[in-house]
Amino acid sequence: MNSLKVARLQKGSVILGFLIVLACALSGMQAHAQTDDLLVATNNEDVARVKALIAAKADVNAKYSNGTTVLALASLRGQMEIVHALIDAGADVNATRDDGSTVLMAAVQFNRLEAVEALLAAGAIVNAKTRDGVTVLMLALQASSLDVVRALLAAKADVNAKTQDGVTALIVASMAGSLEGVRALINAGADVNATDNNGATSLMATSKSGSAEVAQALIAAKADVNASTKDGGTALMAASETSSAGLVRELIASKAEVNAKAANGTTALFDASFGNPVRSVHDVEVVRELIAAGADVNARDMLNSTALMGAAFNDRVEVVQTLIAGKADVNAKNVGDNTALMVASFGGHADVVRVLIAAGADANAKDKHSQTALMAASQDGNIEAVQALLNAKADVNDAAEDGTTSLMEAASHGNLVAARALIAMNAEINAQDKDGLTALMRASKFDHPEVLKALLADKADVSARSKDGKTALDLAGDQADIKALLLGAGAKP
């Protein structure tokens, strides 16, 4: 039943993260022979030795093999006496590593405010960028170094600079949920509606942290609550997808469009309903908020799937109940004519199956290939789902367009408990599909001896032949145990 899977296209990453690793310990890095002493002395925090080497004209711009300078090492460790000694001796405050990161970036990432101030005073370039376009200010925000952020802003750091992916400092701060960082950037003139290369804004990035307070600050600064990415994603969709209930409430209160659709047709309600097992409680809360705000519970995506199908697919029982209470159509069909009940049955989600049946889901609905929910459940073998469908009067002998029955599905997949339940409900034991295969032949072909025994016990015909003249014994191949069972039941070689 490959058509049962609910399509859910990605809207693209809201934030393209970055990480600069400054591995500056001696381990794993090789120093150039002539500069070993200064690098070792700095690494050992031997101030007297460092000063003596400087006085002896050691190279103050000595580097490890990855480009990290002795000044960068001292700066990231906050060894201020060494930092000042190196600067006074003419160390290059703007030396870069192989990735383009600078000495100032090393100090910033480790929240070394004194080193940052000393480097800036010595002429460190505040708006330097790595090869990927990451700025010193972005790294300070990522490291939650607010004092450093203020120092950089005082030094005229560019608040609207972008990485190669279009990420701004405000997007970084919003993603981190740094309220003070966001406020500082806004006060310094940051563009609240600047977008990355995918069209994502700072408000969308807030979904990463789920901070309603950050959202309030951005909205108060005129952030567009209904801005959309290139593929139609909105801040409300992002917040709904990450189950950020407080943020969802804030966006709704700020007039976010609850029924906006992405390029793939999904809405915020679909994103919330699809859910995540780790955040199930929050999923339900977000779904309730969206429905209360007028979200269309029967909206369709590009494959005509609904939020209910998404919740059923991911076994979100409480979300399914909430959507049904909000008048979701339990018998709606997608482009493959699959219903929420079929989707839940395919996944063996027995609790969802029971909830949908209780709400009036049609247990005998068929998809475009005439497959039913019972056939789907029989594949998985979840006996509770199978039994729930049988109790709802699902037709045990219904056949798909290729002639496959639920019992054949159970036999093909080796689902003994499902096979027994179907047999107990008078499933036609010797029914044949369009190729003439019976459940017994399928159990033989796919090497399921226990199912084979159950079928034989119910008088399955060992002499039946497929359209190409083969019996169950012929289909057993080299499977000795299957052959023995069939021969014992009277099969003729």
Which pLDDT tens digit goes with each residue over 129-161? 999 999 999 999 998 889 999 999 999 999 999
Between 66 and 182, the more confident residue is: 182
Q: Which two tokens stand for residue 399?
A: 């056949």
- Is the confidence at residue 14, as pLDDT, over 50? no
- Determine the average pLDDT of the residues in 370-384: 93
Classified by CATH at the fold level, domain 20-125 comes out as 1.25.40
Structure-derived torsion over alpha carbons of residues 246, 252, 258, 262, reported in degrees to the nearest 10: -70
**Residues 255-302: tens digit of each pLDDT:** 999 999 999 999 999 999 986 555 555 689 999 999 999 999 999 999
Q: What is the DSSP string of 294-361?
A: T--TT---TTS--HHHHHHHTT-HHHHHHHHHTT--TT---TT---HHHHHHHTT-HHHHHHHHHTT-
Q: Rg (Cα) of the chain, in Å, rounded?
A: 33
- Determine the average pLDDT of the residues in 368-396: 95
Confidence of residue 64 (pLDDT cuts 50, 70, 90): confident
Q: How far is CA 267 from CA 20, 128, 238, 348, in A?
A: 35, 40, 10, 26
Neighbouring residues of 112: CB distance < 8 A, sequence distance ≥ 6:
75, 76, 77, 78, 148
Residue ranges of the chain that CATH labels 1.25.40.20 = 20-125, 398-493
Residue 26 pLDDT: 34
* CATH-assigned architecture of domain 398-493: Alpha Horseshoe (1.25)
Q: Report the C-alpha gap between 79 and 61 in whole angstroms.
A: 16
Residue 13 pLDDT: 35
Q: Report the C-alpha gap between 398 and 383 in whole angstroms.
A: 18
Q: Report the C-alpha gap between 49 and 39 in whole angstroms.
A: 11
**Residues 426-440: tens digit of each pLDDT:** 999 999 999 999 999
Closest CA to 243 of 217, 269, 215: 269
**Residues 198-253: tens digit of each pLDDT:** 999 999 999 888 899 999 999 999 999 999 999 999 999 999 998 889 999 999 99
**Environment class of residue 369 by beta-carbon count within 10 Å: exposed (0-12), middle (13-18) or buried (19+)?**
middle
Kindly state the DSSP code that residue 124 receives in the 8-state scheme.
Answer: -
